[in-house]
């Protein structure tokens, strides 16, 4: 009897340990929270003193704040195409923002959602899509089991007859069906995220929570506006507060359900702060739509309590392209080479240095490259600027002559990168091209631009006649 009792005891012990082993290997939930047009310095964890973001600040304390993180574009749609594909979007012709009715994120490209689904992930996209309006580019056709949001690039935060009519690209959808929502849209998106977690808490999930805040129109709830009465950036402060509040709802739900420990969370903006939404890019030059640091360097944080040590600041050169690569690595997805890098080894100090030594940007006649701490900006039919960001984060002192060897190397690296790209499938409309060109030329000359949007362009042209 003795050997039998010993064997039975051993089996019970092994069986008792087995659940813990399975739990240790459980794939993490993955949540990507995307703000829209938020400034580099417009969150408490990035140093803001006037915009209140208590929930994001707590999330930052639980993870890592990145100081030198960038999106792959300085405008909404191509930036999202890069994030969702893990590749420079110019590789498949998605370079510009003004997407034609019948085009979008190439159906030949694997998305983060479609890559995670075979591993057992349930997938949801909530909020702004802006990757194509027609059926082949709909989120449900691009790997997302569920979609709650709108297909276009911007809409009102309140329901109205124009945006919410059947067939309008701004209309709210649940999968393919038009739906009504009540109240404030930021709240509706947060509430749906909480509801989704409740319905899928027993399986690994990938949530892409894409707020349209703080993109224009500048609309906020009355109670939030009252909270910031007299604030010099009242509307932005109220809109940011509401977004933070709804991110807090999601964090609380994850905690309540015991999921926070094993949920990998990313937070970032889709590009730099816009010129028309009161945002603040801090010490950075430029804003949304241009190739200076203010256009594409963004607030970025990562939290995963189970794996990543908390309370870190990471200064290495990082890209939004890294989100796909990181998600694929932790979900054990075997993919062809992406342009992004798995960030986890850098955050657990298994690897040292920066995830990237160089990053590149291009849209129409504007292009740029980061080579280490050097920054090259090119404006076709005008010329170059070359900055040393070590002592000139504001990109004001051209170093072409003083650092000629480094300048030539950066030119070569940008040329090499562009040689692997394709021509864009579409471009911007002529008015925006003219505006963007003027802004780049003005910033390269360290002067104020004559105009920053098509209306100002029209007024300027009228004044010259």
Domain residue limits, the chain: 27-347, 358-464
CA distances from 213 to 128, 416, 454 (A): 10, 37, 23
What would the two tokens of residue 141 be?
A: 């056709």
Please report how many Cα atoms fall inside a 13 Å half-sphere around the Cα of residue 407, on the Cβ side.
14
State the pLDDT at residue 25.
56
The answer to whether residue 17 is catalytic is no
Q: What is the pLDDT of residue 278?
A: 97
Identify the CA nearest to 439 among candidates 360, 365, 359. Answer: 365
List 55, 70, 76, 215, catalytic entry: 76
HEC per residue, 348-417: CCCCCCCCCCEEEEEECCEEEEEECCEEEEEECCCEEEEEECCCCCCCCCCCCCCCHHHHHHHHHHHHHH
Domains 27-347 and 358-464 share a fold: no
Alpha-carbon gap, residue 294 to 393, rounded angstroms:
10
Nearest Cα residue to 452 out of 280, 272, 276: 276
Phi, psi of 273 (to 5 degrees): -60, 150
Give the CATH number of domain 27-347; options: 3.40.720.10, 3.30.830.10, 3.20.20.370, 3.10.20.30.
3.40.720.10
Positions in the chain whose pLDDT score sits under 70: 1-25
CA distances from 66 to 82, 183, 317, 350 (A): 19, 34, 9, 17
76 labelled catalytic:
yes
Q: Is 118 exposed, middle or buried (0-12, 13-18, 19+ CB in 10 A)?
A: exposed
Residue with tokens 């808490």: 201
The whole-number pLDDT of residue 337 equals: 85
What is the rounded CA–CA span in Å between residue 434 and residue 457?
A: 8
Nearest to 217 by CA among 278, 172, 161: 278
CATH topology of domain 358-464: Arylsulfatase, C-terminal domain (3.30.1120)
At residue 465, the pLDDT reads 79
Q: Which residue of the set 130, 296, 374, 440 is catalytic?
A: 130
Three-class DSSP labels, 240-258: HHHHHHHHHHHHHHHHHCC
Q: What's the predicted TM-score (pTM) here? A: 0.93
- CA 152 to chain CA centroid, Å, is 16
């Amino acid at each position: 009897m003795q050997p039998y009792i010993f064997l039975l005891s051993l089996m019970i012990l092994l069986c008792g340990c087995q659940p813990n082993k399975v739990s240790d290997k459980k794939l993490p939930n993955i949540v990507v929270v995307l703000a829209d047009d938020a400034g580099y310095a417009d969150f408490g964890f990035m140093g803001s003193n006037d915009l209140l973001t208590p929930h994001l600040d707590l999330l930052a304390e639980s993870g890592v704040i990145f100081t030198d993180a960038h999106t792959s574009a300085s405008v909404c749609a191509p930036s999202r195409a890069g994030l969702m594909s893990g590749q420079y979007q110019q590789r498949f012709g998605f370079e510009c923002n003004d997407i034609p009715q019948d085009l979008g994120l190439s159906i030949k490209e694997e998305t983060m959602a479609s890559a995670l689904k075979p591993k057992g992930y349930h997938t949801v996209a909530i909020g702004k899509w802006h990757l194509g309006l027609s059926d082949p580019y709909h989120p449900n056709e691009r790997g997302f089991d569920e979609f709650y949001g709108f297909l276009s690039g911007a809409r009102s935060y309140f329901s109205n007859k124009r945006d919410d009519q059947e067939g309008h690209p701004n209309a709210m959808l649940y999968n393919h069906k038009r739906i009504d929502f009540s109240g404030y849209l930021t709240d509706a998106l947060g509430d749906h995220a909480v509801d989704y977690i409740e319905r899928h808490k027993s399986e690994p999930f990938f949530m892409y929570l894409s707020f349209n805040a703080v993109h224009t129109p500048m609309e906020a709830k009355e109670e939030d506006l009252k909270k910031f009465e007299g604030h010099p950036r009242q509307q932005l402060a109220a809109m940011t507060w509401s977004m933070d509040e709804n991110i807090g709802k999601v964090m609380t739900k994850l905690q309540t359900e015991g999921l926070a420990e094993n949920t990998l969370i990313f937070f970032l903006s889709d590009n730099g702060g816009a010129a028309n939404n009161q945002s603040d890019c801090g010490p950075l030059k430029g804003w949304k739509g241009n190739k200076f640091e203010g256009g594409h360097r963004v607030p970025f944080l990562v939290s995963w309590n189970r794996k990543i040590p908390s309370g870190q600041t990471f200064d290495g050169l990082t890209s939004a392209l890294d989100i796909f690569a990181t998600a694929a690595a932790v979900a054990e997805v075997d993919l062809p080479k992406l342009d992004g890098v798995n960030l986890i080894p850098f955050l657990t100090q298994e690897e040292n240095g920066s995830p990237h030594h160089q990053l590149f940007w291009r849209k129409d006649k504007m292009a740029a490259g980061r080579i280490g701490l050097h920054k090259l900006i090119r404006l076709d039919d005008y010329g170059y600027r070359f900055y040393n960001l070590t002592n000139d984060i504001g990109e004001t002192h051209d170093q072409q002559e003083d650092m000629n060897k480094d300048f030539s190397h950066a030119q070569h690296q940008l040329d090499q990168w562009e040689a692997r790209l394709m021509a864009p499938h579409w471009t911007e409309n002529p008015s925006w091209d003219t505006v963007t060109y003027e802004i780049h030329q003005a910033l390269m000359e360290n002067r104020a631009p004559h105009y920053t949007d098509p209306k100002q362009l029209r007024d300027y042209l009228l004044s010259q006649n």
